[in-house]
Amino acid sequence: MFKDFKLIAGRPVYIQVKDYMKSLILRGALQGEQKLPSTRELSLLLAVSRNSVISAYTALEDDGFAYTVQGQGSYVASAAASDSTTAVSAWTMDWKTRLSSRALLAEELDIMKRGIRAGKGTISFTSIAPDESLFDLDNVKRAFLDRMSVEGNVLLNYGYAKGYKPLIDYLRQYMEHKGVDMRGKDLLITNGFTEGFDIVLSALGQRHGAVLCENPTHHTALKNLRLNGFDIRGVAMEPDGIHLGELKRALEEEEVDCAYFVPSYHNPTGIVMSPEKRQGLMKLMAEYRVPVIEDGFNEELRYSGSHVAPLIAAAGSGNSIIYLGSFSKVLFPGLRVGWVLADQELIYVLESVKRARSIHTSTLDQSILYQYLLGGHLEKFLKRARTEYKRKYELTMACCKECLPYSRISGDGGLHLFVTFPKGFSTRELLAACREQGVIFTAGDIFFTDGTGQHTLRLGFSRVADEDIRRGIEIIGRTARQLLG
Ligand SMILES: Cc1ncc(COP(=O)(O)O)c(C=O)c1O
């Protein structure tokens, strides 16, 4: 006993001693009415000061775990000690037999648990998270302190399901500046795109039980579509976005409840849908009366070319587009803040779904983001981030073109490139061989709706150092050529 006590830096020692003694009592290692070691003894056993033990014993008494007999010492309170009832109630069960099919499916589709782990020194192209070394930490800290000093007490209390009002107002204007007609529309703040998508899907009635989307598409979106019980109809892509002919065919073939599109910096292909395609797509959706969930992911990360308006802007006063926004890749994914912009009557209902689920998104997170945006830091940060990501994008593109035996490389910006190899080539085999040499990437098949895409891969470059980009792609290229024979 007392050998497994380990101090954690930064936490008061007496609390750690108290918690440790409490756990011994609860586990039954110290029995009711048993005398506790003297404060001197325990301080030696745990290698802490005697004062810490004295304070710990006082706190144990306050919590009802111990009592003192004057002149004799401290004892374990029998009411607090574990007794034979613990043994009776400590029965076990097999939780696997009690899980819902949804939970089991979520576990089955959880690629984070099954993906390849990057060992130390591995060059990993798997992440498309932003580069944290670019984070504007000083301004984030200032935003936090400023907001806390204005209304810290309010921020720490319960907030509103719809979101933090100043942020909602800010985002209304932000979307207006993207050309959206905000009349008749409203906003709901969510924990990033992912929760917003799940809220929308869970709220949609399933008349046909099917959803259209680009093929390939965002893996998390596919997972959530499946978890919400939708059949997925993938439509092939062309270099400038979804194949409109195939989209029309799919719409003719079968009725769907809605469509999910990522028009800008599509994940995984990195394609930005052309203005002509956007128009064509909107016409088709109107003709077949299919509502659209638009993922506004990474719109801000355009490196070249002119601004492309989101679909919801093209829809004017129409209410058939549900826009999901997120600053996850542009700013900080750790602040789980995204938004749903849609018809106000729909938002009215989604607000209740959100409240039932999680009451609201962290007001503290929302307020930090708001203060940061209010201070004009997004614009400055974007300038810096775009310059750096563009540089890395060009480097990665040049390395890919030089080293890889590709059929096609796509990606108009953003934080990743998508590489297609000749048909019949297996990027899973390539991945296994590259892993042996300390390089990993994401095999593309996980993004496909129909089990295809075995000859594709995604390269996330945002967090890879220049030298590693060169070395990693050189290894991928050499290995691919060897496999191609
Ligand atoms: C297509 C797409 N949409 C949205 C997101 C952002 O999701 P979230 O806001 O939940 O972090 C991502 C992140 O990778 C993405 O790939």
Give 182-248 as a DSSP string. Answer: -TTEEEEEESHHHHHHHHHHHHS--SS-EEEEEES--HHHHHHHHHTT-EEEEEEEETTEE-HHHHH
Q: How far is the CA of 468 from the centre of ligand 1 (A)?
A: 25
Tell me the β-bridge partners of 186.
342
Question: What are 59-85's pLDDT values in tens digits?
Answer: 999 999 999 999 999 999 988 776 655
Tell me how far the alpha carbon of residue 193 lies from the centroid of ligand 1, in angstroms: 6
Q: What is the pLDDT of residue 85?
A: 55
Contact 184, 343 (CB under 8 A): yes
| 289 C-alpha to ligand 1 centroid (Å) | 26
Residues 282 and 315: beta-carbon distance below 8 Å = yes
- How far, in Å, is the centroid of ligand 1 from the Cα of 194? 7
Whole-number Å distance, alpha carbon 90 to ligand 1 midpoint, is: 42
Q: What is the pLDDT of residue 83?
A: 61
315-373: per-residue pLDDT in tens? 999 999 999 999 988 899 999 999 999 999 999 999 999 999 999 999 999 999 999 99
Distance from the CA of 220 to the center of ligand 1, in angstroms? 8
Q: Which atom of ligand 1 is nearest to the CA of 217?
A: 1
Q: Which atom of ligand 1 is nearest to the CA of 265?
A: 1
- Specify the fold of 13-86: Arc Repressor Mutant, subunit A (1.10.10)
101 pLDDT more than 80: yes
Reduced to 3 states, what is the DSSP secondary structure of residue 101? helix
pLDDT of residue 298: 78
Q: For the chain, where do the domains classified as CATH 1.10.10.10 start and end?
A: 13-86
What does the pLDDT read at residue 240? 94
pLDDT tens digits for range 21-57: 999 998 889 999 999 999 999 999 999 999 999 999 9
Q: What is the mean pLDDT of residues 369-392?
A: 94
The residue-averaged pLDDT of 461-471 equals 97
CB-CB contact of 212 with 250 (8 Å): yes
CATH 3.40.640.10 segments of the chain: 137-375
The angle at the Cα of 35, spanning 33 to 37, to the nearest 5 degrees, equals: 150
**What is the model's pLDDT at position 412?**
85
Structural fold of domain 105-130+381-484: Aspartate Aminotransferase, domain 1 (3.90.1150)
Residue with CA nearest ligand 1 atom 12: 297
Q: Kindly report the pTM of this predicted structure.
A: 0.92
Which residues are near ligand 1 (CB < 6 Å)? 128, 192-194, 218, 262, 267, 295, 297, 326, 328-329, 333, 338
User: Of all atoms in ligand 1, which is nearest to the CA of residue 128?
Assistant: 14
Running DSSP on this structure, what letter comes out for residue 422?
A: P
How close is the Cα of 88 to the center of ligand 1, in Å? 47
> Is it the case that residue 301 has pLDDT exceeding 90?
no
Element (H, E) at 456: strand 456-460
Name 485's Cβ contacts closer than 8 Å, sequence gap at least 6: none
List C-alpha distances in Å: 390 to 185, 262, 267. 34, 20, 17
| pLDDT tens sequence across 184-204 | 999 999 999 999 999 999 999
Residue-wise pLDDT for 116-139, tens only, equals 777 889 999 999 999 999 999 999
What confidence score (pLDDT) does residue 212 get?
Answer: 98
Helix axes 137-155, 363-374, angle to 10 degrees: 130
What is the structure's pLDDT at 307?
Answer: 66
Q: Are strands 210-215 and 258-261 parallel, antiparallel or unpaired?
A: parallel
Average pLDDT over residues 387-410: 96
Q: Which of 3.40.50.2300, 3.40.640.10, 3.40.1440.10, 3.40.50.300 would CATH assign to domain 137-375?
A: 3.40.640.10
436 vs 432: CA distance, rounded Å: 7
Of 218, 222, 262, 273, the residue with max ligand 1 atoms within 8 A of its CB, to mutate for a pocket test, comes to 218
Task: Pick from 193, 369, 463 the residue to mutate for probing ligand 1's pocket: most ligand atoms within 8 Å of its CB.
Answer: 193
Dist. CA 313 → ligand 1 center (Å): 20
Element containing residue 324 per DSSP (H, E):
strand 321-326
What pLDDT, in 10s, does the model give residues 189-242? Answer: 999 999 999 999 999 999 999 999 999 999 999 999 999 999 999 999 999 999
Ligand 1, residues 200, 269, 297, 324: which to mutate, most atoms within 8 A of Cβ?
Answer: 297
Give the C-alpha distances (Å, rounded to integers) separating 237 from 120, 134, 273, 342, 366: 37, 32, 10, 26, 36
390 three-state secondary structure: helix
How many whole angstroms from 6 Cα to the centroid of ligand 1? Answer: 40
pLDDT higher than threshold 80 for residue 305: no
| Three-state secondary structure call for residue 352 | helix
| C-beta atoms surrounding 366 within 10 Å | 26
